[in-house]
Amino acid sequence: MIISRKHRFIFAAVPKTGTHSVRQALRQHMGPDDMEQAFLFVEKRFPFPELAALRHGHLSFQQVRPFLGEDDFSSYLKFAFVRNPFDRFVSYCAFATSKTGAFDRDPKGVMRHFLFVQPPHNHIIFRPQYLFLTGPDGELQADLVGKVETMQASYDTIAAQLRIQTAPLDHANRSRRGDYRDYYDQEMIDGVARLYARDIELFGYDF
C-alpha cells in the first residue's frame, strides 16, 4: 500500500494484480511525507506499529482508515487494481508452489488441492479481492478500480486523475504461463466461481 499526502491518494495493493509495476511507477512521484508498506523486492513499513507488524503490504482500505482520520480517508483518492478471479487463481497456484515446481508438473492437481482439499483461506494472497476494497457494510470504498486486463489504460486514467505524469508499466514479478482457461475443467470453473463469487459480481468478470 502507498499513502501519498503530497498527491492525496491511497493505493491498495491487492495481491496478484501487478502491484509491483504500479508501485514502481508511483514511487517516482512520492514526497518526503508519503508512506509505503511493502515486503517483496524492497522492505518499507508504515509508521504505525500495528500495521508494520503484519509484515506484508497488502493492506485493505478499512485497515488504514483508523490511522488516517476520517477527513483524510474521505478526501483522498482511493484506487486499486483487480484481476479476473479465474486467472488470478491460476497465478496463485503457480506462486504458492514455485519452490517445489508442483504446478509445472501437475497444474490441475495443484488447483484441485487448493480448491477442494486444503483451501488456504488465511493466506493473504488467496483472499478474495473485494475484502481489500470494501468496508464493513460491503460497499466499495475505492474511487477508481483499474483492471489488470487493461492495465496501462487503467493506470493512465488514474495518473490523469491524480495530475501526475503517466509512465509505461514494467512487468515486474510476471510469471510465464499459457492462457488461464487451458488449466480448467468444469468442476474447477464451478469451484472458483463459488469461492470468488463476490469478486465476479462486484468487478464484472466471468470465465
**CA nearest to 174, candidates 106, 105, 83:** 83
Q: Write the CA distances from 206 to 83, 139, 191, 193, integer angstroms.
A: 11, 21, 13, 8
- The angle at the Cα of 104, spanning 101 to 107, to the nearest 5 degrees, equals 115
Give residue for cell 486486463.
Answer: 149
pLDDT digits (tens, 9 = 90+) for 133-190: 999 999 999 999 999 999 999 999 999 999 999 999 987 556 667 899 999 999 999 9
pTM, 2 dp = 0.95
CA gap 135, 118 in Å, rounded: 28
